[in-house]
Amino acid sequence: MRNIAGFLLALCCLSGYAAPGDDYPATVHVKNSHLTKDAGQLYQRLDVVIDGHDYELAGNPLSSSIFESALLVPGDYPARVTKDERKTTYKVTRIYELKFPDGKTEKFAMIGMSE
């Protein structure tokens, strides 16, 4: 039995399989990053692709001015869903947490989707 467990572990490592404990199993591809102002608050908005579907995400309000705010560079980022609610079959609320190369994270709410 011990040999079988060792074999399966080695097979998983060699195949690049993501273990169930992987904290950021999704990939968010950022196509476009821009700043927008709503009700006097500055937000970062992202046009992204997740699992082949187009979404728009918005970050928390930024405290700095437009001249001091940094845009997220387009590319791929590891992510995980921190909130996924479906109170009906036709409405969804979803929050993604993106992980950056330096280990920092930031949450973005899904504010748009297209077919």
Q: Which amino acid is at 108?
A: F
**Residue 6 maps to a domain:** no
The answer to the question of residue 27 being in a domain is: yes
Percent with pLDDT over 90 in the chain: 67
Type and span of the H or E element at 26: strand 26-38
109 in a domain, yes or no?
yes
The pLDDT tens digits of the residues spanning 74-104 come to 999 999 999 999 999 999 999 999 999 999 9
- Cβ of 28: how many Cβ atoms within 10 Å? 23
pLDDT tens profile 21-43: 489 999 999 999 999 998 889 99
Q: Which residue matches tokens 């973005």?
A: 108
Q: Is residue 57 part of a domain?
A: yes
The structure tokens listed for 30 are 């950022």
- Domain span at 98: 22-113
Surface-to-core class of residue 88, CB atoms within 10 Å of its CB (0-12 exposed, 13-18 middle, 19+ buried):
exposed
Residue at 105 is within a domain: yes
**The total number of structural domains that make up the chain:** 1
> What is the DSSP track for 74-102?
SEEEEEEEEEEE-SSSS--EEEEEEE-TT
pTM: 0.78
Q: Is 10 inside any structural domain?
A: no
Q: How far is the C-alpha of 89 from the C-alpha of 26, rounded, in Å?
A: 23
- The answer to whether residue 92 is domain-embedded is yes
